[in-house]
Structure 1
Amino acid sequence: MRVDFDFTMAIGSFLVAIVVGLTGMGGGALMTPMLVTFFGVPPLAAVSSDLVAAAVMKPVGSLVHLRRGTVHLRMVGWLCAGSVPAAFCGVLIARALGDGEDVQKVIQKALGVALLIAATGLAVRGYLAMRDNAERRTAATGRRTAEPGEPAATAPPAAVPVRPLPTVVIGVIGGLVVGMTSVGSGSLIIVALLAVYPALKANQLVGTDLVQAVPLVMSAAIGHLIFGDFQLSVTVALLAGSIPGVYIGSRISSRAPGGLIRRALAFVLLASALKMFDVSTTATVWVLVGVLVAAPVFWMFLRTRHGLPALPWARGAATPAETGRPPADL
C-alpha cells in the first residue's frame, strides 16, 4: 500500500508534541483542531487518525507514573469499567450519524465543546499545582496542622477510598466524548476526578488519569479503525512528528516555565474552540481580550485565598519546599 507522507503535517505534529511533552496535556485538543483548521482534514477523519496515533503514544507517560507509585489502580479499574465500552460506543454514535456535511458539522461542534473542556482542564491543573505548592509552603513554615481525618500529604493514592458509582459515570461520560472527538482523556476526566476526589494530590490525579487513558484511547482507536474514517497517511505523519516532539518536550520540561506554557495553551484552546463554533473574528477578539483582562485578576485572588502572594515573583513567594518541580506552576 502506498502512503503519501505530508512533511508539513509532520512538522505541525512535532510542534504540538513538544507542548504535550512540556505540559502533559493538549494532545488531542491541539492535534485534531490543527488537522481540521490548517490541513483541511474532515473532522471525523481527524478524530480517527489522531486517536490511532494517541494509542501508540499514551503508554509512555503512564509507565513513568506507575513506576513512581502515583497511580490509584482501583480507581483506574472503575474508570475503565465505564470509559472503555463508552469510548467504543462514542465511535458508533459518530458513525451512526452518517458521512454527510451536516454530520461533519456535528463532529466539529462536539470538538468545540471538548476544546472548552480541555481549556478548563488546563486551568484546573494549574490550580492543583498552586494548591499543592501552598500546602507545601504552610507545611514548611509549620503554620498549619492537619484537620482530623485529613489524609497526610505523603499518603499513597490507595489511601483514598473509591466511590464506584460516580467513578464509573465519569468514565462513561469521558469515554463518549473521547470516542466522538478524541479530546477529553487528559482534561474532562481529570476535572471530574478533582470534584469527586479532592483528597488526591495533583501528581496522583495526573498519574491515575494517564493510566486509565491508555485502555480508553485504545478502545476508541480500535472503534475508529473499524467504523471511523481512519487515514493511514495522516497517522503516519502524526507519529513521525509527535514521537521526537514528545521526547524533546519531556527532556526540557524540568527547565521550562510550565505554568506559563499551560496558560498560553489554554488561551490557544479557547481560540480554537471559538473557531470550531464558527464565531466571528470580531467576537473572538473581544472574548479573548476579556479573558486576558479577567483571568490574571481571578488567579491573584485564588493565590491570596491559599495564603500565597498575589504575584508569583513577589518576594517570599516561593520557599525551598516549593522550588522542586516546578515553581513556575504557581
Structure 2
Amino acid sequence: MIDPLYVVSGFGVGLLVGMTGVGGGSLMTPLLILVFGVHPATAVGTDLLYAAATKTAGTAAHGWARSIHWPAVIRLASGSIPASILTLVILWQLDLSGESSRSLVNLVLCFALLLTAVSLIFRKSIMQRYRRRLEQINPGTAARATVLVGVALGVLVSISSVGAGAVGVTALLLLYPQLPMTRIVASDIAHAVPLTLVAGIGHWATGAIDWHLMAVLLVGSLPGILIGSYCAHRVPETALRLVLATTLIVVAGNLASHELHSSSSNITAFARSTAH
C-alpha cells in the first residue's frame, strides 16, 4: 500500500533538489527520522540508495550534454570510495547497539546539516575571499586537495547521507575556479552516484534499508525533480538558498534537541534501574 504522505514528501524534496541542486539527503534523512519515526541507520541507508537512483538520471543527462569534468569526479571518487568503505568497516567492527547507532548518526547528521547550511549561506563570501588565492595554486596541489575533499565527503556521507551536495559544490568551486557553475554541479552529481551507491550497498549489507519506503519516495521525487528543474530559472536562487539553509538549521536544532531528550531519558531510566 502506498502512503500518500510519503509520496508528497518525496515530491517536495525532489522539487527542492531540482531547483537548488542540493537538499536530497539534507532534507530526506531528517524528514524520515523526525516526521516518520524511522530509525536513523535505516533512514540513512534508504536515503543513500534513493540518492543513487535519482542522481543516476541527472548524471546521464549531464553526460549527454558533456558538462561533466571527469578528472575532478575521478579524484573525488579516489578519496571518497575508499573512505566510505573504511568508515563502513569500522562501523561494522564497532557493532554499535541500536541506541549507540542512533546517537552517532544523529550527531554526525547535525554537523553535516550545519556544514551544508554554512556552505549555502556563505558560499559567495567564501568564494570572494579565497578564490583569488586558490587560482594561483598549481594543478598538482588542486588534484591532491580534491582527493582529500573526497575523503571527507566519503566519511560524512557514509554516516549521515549528507554532504555531497552543497559542501561538495563549494569545494569544487574553490579548487576549480576556471570551470563554469554548470560543470561544477554536473561533476558533483556524477561523483555522488558511485559514493551513495557504495555507501548504500554497505548499509544494505547490515539490513538498514527499507525498500518499500524507497520505492514510494521515488514515486513522488522523480516528478518533483523534473518540475523543480523546469522552475529553477524562474525562482530567485538567493532566496531559495536562504530558505533551504534556514530549514537545515532548524532541522539540525530539532535533531539535537531530540537527541538530548533521548539521552536524558536513557540516563534517568538507568538511574532508576540501578536504584532498585
Matched residue, 1:206? 185
Q: Quick check: 1:114 aligned with 2:92?
A: no
Matched residue, 1:80? 77
Q: Quick check: 1:269 aligned with 2:233?
A: no
Give the structure, 1 or 2, with the largest relative contact order (CA under 8 Å, sep 6 or more).
Answer: 2
Give the CA deviation at 1:64: 3.3
Matched residue, 2:257? 278
Alignment partners' CA distance in 2, 1:247 and 1:196: 30
Change (3 A) 1:179 1:106: same
Alignment partners' CA distance in 2, 1:88 and 1:207: 24
Alignment partners' CA distance in 1, 2:82 and 2:201: 11
Gaps of 5+ in 1: 132-146, 152-159, 281-330
Give the CA deviation at 1:115: 0.4
Gaps of 5+ in 2: 260-276
Is the contact made by 2:33 and 2:40 (CA closer than 8 Å) also made in structure 1? yes
Matched residue, 2:215? 236
Q: Quick check: 1:90 aligned with 2:69?
A: no
Aligned AA (1:161): P
Alignment partners' CA distance in 1, 2:64 and 2:125: 25
Aligned AA (2:147): V
Alignment partners' CA distance in 2, 1:28 and 1:221: 12
Aligned residues: 251
Is the contact made by 2:52 and 2:192 (CA closer than 8 Å) also made in structure 1? no
Alignment partners' CA distance in 1, 2:192 and 2:114: 19
Alignment partners' CA distance in 2, 1:279 and 1:227: 25
Change (3 A) 1:74 1:229: same
Matched residue, 1:188? 167
Alignment partners' CA distance in 1, 2:41 and 2:89: 12
**Identical columns (%):** 36
Alignment partners' CA distance in 2, 1:34 and 1:207: 26
Aligned AA (2:100): D
Aligned AA (2:152): I
Matched residue, 2:54? 57
Q: Quick check: 1:161 aligned with 2:139?
A: yes
**CA offset digits 1:28-81 (Å, max 9, x no partner):** 000000011110111111001111111110122223333444322112111111
Q: Calculate the TM-score normalised by the size of structure 1.
A: 0.69
Q: Which has the larger radius of gyration?
A: 1
Is the contact made by 2:59 and 2:190 (CA closer than 8 Å) also made in structure 1? yes
Give the CA deviation at 1:89: 2.9
Q: Calculate the TM-score normalised by the size of structure 2.
A: 0.82
More helix by share: 2
Alignment partners' CA distance in 2, 1:127 and 1:6: 42
Give the CA deviation at 1:266: 0.5
Aligned residue for 2:233, secondary structure, equals: coil
Aligned residue for 2:257, secondary structure, equals: coil
Is the contact made by 1:118 and 1:187 (CA closer than 8 Å) also made in structure 2? yes
Alignment partners' CA distance in 2, 1:245 and 1:24: 12
Is the contact made by 2:17 and 2:228 (CA closer than 8 Å) also made in structure 1? yes
Matched residue, 1:15? 12
CA RMSD, 1 decimal: 2.5
Change (3 A) 1:61 1:82: same
Is the contact made by 1:92 and 1:227 (CA closer than 8 Å) also made in structure 2? no
Aligned AA (1:274): G
Aligned residue for 2:35, secondary structure, equals: helix
**CA offset digits 1:212-231 (Å, max 9, x no partner):** 11111111111111125111
Aligned residue for 1:278, secondary structure, equals: helix
